Amino acid sequence: MTRIAVFVGVDYHQKSVQVCVVDVEGNVQMNRKLPSTVEAILSAVGQGSDVRGVAIEACCGAADLAEKLVQRAGWSVSLAHPGYVARMKQNRDKTDFGDARVLADLLRVGYLPKVWLAPKELRQLRHLVRLRQDLVAQRRKIKLQIRALLRENRIIAPDRRKPWTCAWLAWLRETDELTDDDRWIMDRRLESLGEVFLKIRAVEKRLRERAQEDAVIQKLCRFHGVGLVTSVTMRAEIGQFDRFGTGKQLARFCGLSPRNVSSGERQADAGLVKAGNTQLRVVVIETAQRLLWQPDNDWARLAMRLLRKGKPRNVVVAAVANRWVRWLYHQMQPDRLAV
pLDDT band at residue 321 using 50, 70 and 90 as cut-offs: very high
Q: What percentage of the chain exceeds 70 in pLDDT?
A: 95
Domains delineated in the chain? 4-115 (3.30.420.40), 120-213 (no CATH), 216-336 (no CATH)
Please give the single-letter amino acid code of residue 38.
Answer: V
Strands 28-35 and 49-57 turn out to be unpaired
Query: Is residue 2 over pLDDT 70?
Result: no
Q: What percent of the chain has pLDDT over 90?
A: 77
E strands, the chain, in order: 4-12, 16-23, 28-35, 49-57, 77-80, 114-115, 258-260, 269-272
Q: Could you report the per-residue pLDDT of 106-135, keeping only the tens digit for each?
A: 999 999 999 999 999 999 999 999 999 999
Q: If we measure between CA atoms, which residue out of 253, 273, 278 comes closest to residue 261?
A: 273
Strand order in the sheet with 49-57: 28-35, 16-23, 4-12, 49-57, 77-80, 114-115
Model confidence at 261, pLDDT cuts 50, 70, 90, reads low
> In this structure, are strands 49-57 and 77-80 parallel, antiparallel, or unpaired?
parallel
